Amino acid sequence: MKIALTCPASLPATQFGGILFLCLDIAKEASKAGHEMTIFTTDMDFANNAKTFNKKLPNDEHVEKFTIRRSHVWLSFSLFFINPGMYFQMIKTNPDIIHSIGVRSFQSFIAALVAKKKNIPLVVSDQGGITTHPELFSSGIFKKMLYKMQLPMIKFIINQADKISVANEYEKNIFLNFCDESKITIIRNGINLETMHSDVKFKQKYNINTNFILFLGRFSKVKGIDLLLNAINLIKHETIFQKTKLVIMGVDFGFEKTMLKMITDYELESIVTVIHNPPRTDVIAAYKESEFLVLPSRWELSPLTPLEGFAFKKPVISSNLHGIPYTIQNNVNGLLVDPENSTELGKAILDLLINEKKCIEYGISGYNLVHSACNSKIMVENTLKIYHEIINR
| CA-angle at 165, arms to 162 and 166, nearest 5° | 145
Are 352 and 268 in a shared domain?
A: yes
Query: pTM of the entire structure?
Result: 0.88
- Single out the residue of 262, 268, 307 nearest to residue 284, CA to CA: 307
* 325-348 residue pLDDT tens: 999 999 999 999 999 999 999 999
Are 231 and 293 in a shared domain?
A: yes
* 248-272 residue pLDDT tens: 999 888 899 999 999 999 999 999 9
Phi, psi angles (nearest 5°) of residue 162 = -85, -30
- pLDDT of 47: 66
The span from the CA of 93 to the CA of 207, in Å, is: 51
Are 296 and 171 in a shared domain?
A: no
* 353-382 residue pLDDT tens: 999 999 999 999 999 999 999 999 999 999
CA 160 to mean position of chain CA atoms: 25
Are 341 and 386 in a shared domain?
A: no
Domain span at residue 311 reads 195-372
The span from the CA of 8 to the CA of 22, in Å, is: 12
DSSP result, 57-107: S-SEEEETTEEEEEE---EEETTEEE-THHHHHHHT---SEEEEE-SSSHH
Are 129 and 257 in a shared domain?
A: no
Phi, psi angles (nearest 5°) of residue 239 = -55, -45
CA 179 to mean position of chain CA atoms: 24
Cis status, amide bond into 12, omega within 30 of 0: yes
* 123-159 residue pLDDT tens: 999 977 777 777 766 667 777 777 788 899 999 999 9
Are 39 and 183 in a shared domain?
A: yes
User: In this structure, what CATH number is given to the domain that contains residue 213?
Assistant: 3.40.50.2000
- pLDDT of 144: 74
Are 133 and 233 in a shared domain?
A: no
Considering its fold, how many domains does the chain have in total? 2
Are 260 and 316 in a shared domain?
A: yes
The span from the CA of 244 to the CA of 232, in Å, is: 11
